[in-house]
Structure 1
Amino acid sequence: MKSAEVRALSLDQLNEELATLKKEQFNLRFQKATGQLEKTARVRQIRRDIARIKTVARQKAVESKA
């Protein structure tokens, strides 16, 4: 996901997307442990998407309090 796409989402949508990405990250870890992981770059991409979503969610939370 790109930053512009993430910023367009609401807090609820961000939380849903975060949960989806965490599940995918969990599955990728299992694939890596069993030697079935084919797209190794996907792990890095998921990790960065999670960080991006957490950052934007935090910014939106701070804005709503101010």
Structure 2
Amino acid sequence: MKNADIRALSVEELKNQIKTEQTSGQSLRFAHAISPLENPIRLKHSRKNVARLKTELTRRENEQANQTAK
């Protein structure tokens, strides 16, 4: 998922996407523990996507807090 796509999501969609990515990442880790994945780089991409989503969510929450503080 690209940053432009992430910025287009609403807060609720971000939260749902984070949950989905975490679940898929967890299933990838379990599958990799049982037998090696064909493409283990998918684990790395999954972690990075979760980090990108969480960063955008935090940025929006901070923005909202700054606006209400003024």
TM-score range, shorter chain: over 0.9
CA distance in 2: counterparts of 1:46 and 1:23, whole angstroms: 10
Unaligned runs of at least 5 residues, structure 1? none
1:36 Cα deviation from its structure 2 partner: 4.5
Amino acid at match of 1:42: R
Q: What is residue 18 of structure 1 aligned with on the other side? A: 18
1:50 Cα deviation from its structure 2 partner: 0.4
Amino acid at match of 1:30: F
Would you say how many aligned residue pairs link Structure 1 and Structure 2? 66
Runs of 4+ in 1 over 2 A off after TM superposition: none
Amino acid at match of 1:46: S
Amino acid at match of 2:40: T
Q: What is residue 35 of structure 1 aligned with on the other side? A: 35
- Give the TM-score, by structure 2 length: 0.89
Kindly report the root-mean-square deviation, in angstroms, between the aligned alpha carbons of the 2 structures: 0.9
Q: What is residue 9 of structure 2 aligned with on the other side? A: 9
Provide the identity percentage. 33
**Which structure's relative contact order is higher, taking Cα pairs within 8 Å and 6+ residues apart?**
1
Question: 1:27-66 CA deviation, whole Å, 9 max, x = no partner?
Answer: 0011111014212111011111000000000000011111
CA distance in 1: counterparts of 2:24 and 2:16, whole angstroms: 13
- Give the TM-score, by structure 1 length: 0.94
